[in-house]
Amino acid sequence: MLSHVAYIEDDSLTAICSNIPNVKDRGKLVHRLVEAYGLFKFMKIFPVIPASRDDLVSFHSQSYVDFLFEANEWSDFEQREDDQLEYGLGYDCPLFKNIYEFASLVAGGSLTAAKVLVDGDAQVAINWCGGWHHAQRDEAKGFCYVNDIVIAIHKLRERFDRVLYIDLDAHHGDGVENAFSFSPKVMTVSFHNYDLGFFPCSGAINEVGFGAGKYYSVNVPLKDGVTDEQYSWLFTGVMDLVKTVFRSDAIVVQCGADCLTGDPVGTFNLTPHSLGVCVQKVLSWQQPTLFLGGGGYNITNTAKCWTFLTSLMVGQNLSSDIPDHPYFLRYGPDFDIEISVGLRKNNNIPSDLKKIVDMISTNLSQIL
């Protein structure tokens, strides 16, 4: 069994995350399923230390943080609509009451997890309420109001010189990549859908970073219908290359579950087993590692997935039968932890996937 696994669990963070309609109650389902399987006893549980304004401006602009602070108590969100639009607040990121408190808690969850690793209190830290990878320095984007990942990476770099960031979400991790696109100290690797019109319409294989950070951004663009076997093969091939050229001191993994089959916004055929292959490979490197949530809009499938991944981190096997607990009825009619393989048409041709690995190999060879 792996020892020294930390888990962030805080009622305030879980409750306030329910303000995002697309993931309402998701945190509660995840935590209670992890608890129902008895996994808490194999981990150290840490409450959230809210992020300070100084923590938030370690990445976000002062003006954006000030706006969130000012808007925290608003009740009429139609006022100052022009200012809201300036900061990306509208459409997919609607303003809501206690928005600053939300940002402080979301960032604080991942900061708390990162601090656990920095202080050496655990080798693995988990924050399933984190992973908001689209937020930019001065605007909200794609359901993401604060980029807890970038802020957590800054905290990790207080102790760990080189940080590897891996993004498994169905969507390109654009906010994190943009934050470090000029840095050779943080390598970002994103596996995502890159079909025409798929949000955020970035993450092509030739997007490799800039200046001193050129070739430290790695993108793995995929098409609809990728399978567990293809995804596992790609992850192994790409990450073996990455590990050879980028000798990381710590790792951050965003485990967005919208890459799973059955997700209302995802287009892949994946089950949690391929994500499990990815997680186990990262764990085998035995480096301080922060695991985060992210997308995942089929709420019960996301809870199943993250509970399964948690079980791998603590070295426990799960019964296929969902245990009785307050949210048990949400898992009907089968009440099974397994997720069936998707049947969406697979547009990923093996020769194209090999070309992706070959091109990444060529790009990475430039920094040897």
171 is catalytic: no
The DSSP bridge partners found for residue 195 are: none
For the packed helices 299-313 and 26-36, what is the interaxial angle rounded to 10 degrees?
40
**CATH code of the domain made up of 5-367:** 3.40.800.20
DSSP state of 264: S
Q: Residues 188-242: pLDDT tens digits?
A: 999 999 998 999 999 999 999 999 999 999 999 999 999 999 999 999 999 999 9
- pLDDT of amino acid 72: 87
Q: Residues 296-335: pLDDT tens digits?
A: 999 999 999 999 999 999 999 999 999 999 999 999 999 9
CA distance 93 to 279: 30
**Candidate from 28-37, 76-85, 139-148, 348-357 with smallest mean pLDDT:** 76-85
Query: Are 140 and 100 spatial neighbours (Cβ–Cβ below 8 Å)?
Result: no
- pLDDT of amino acid 80: 66
- pLDDT of amino acid 94: 87
Catalytic choice (133, 134, 171, 192): 134
CA distance 7 to 152: 15
Domain boundaries, the chain: 5-367
CA distance 82 to 79: 9
Band of residue 84 on the pLDDT scale cut at 50, 70, 90: confident
**Candidate from 26-35, 74-83, 129-138, 336-345 with smallest mean pLDDT:** 74-83
pTM of the complete model beyond 0.85: yes
Nearest to 100 by CA among 132, 78, 74, 77: 74
Q: Residues 11-28: pLDDT tens digits?
A: 999 998 877 878 989 999
- pLDDT of amino acid 1: 37
pLDDT at 259 over 60: yes
pLDDT at 78 over 70: no
Nearest to 304 by CA among 318, 292, 284: 318
CA distance 250 to 239: 14
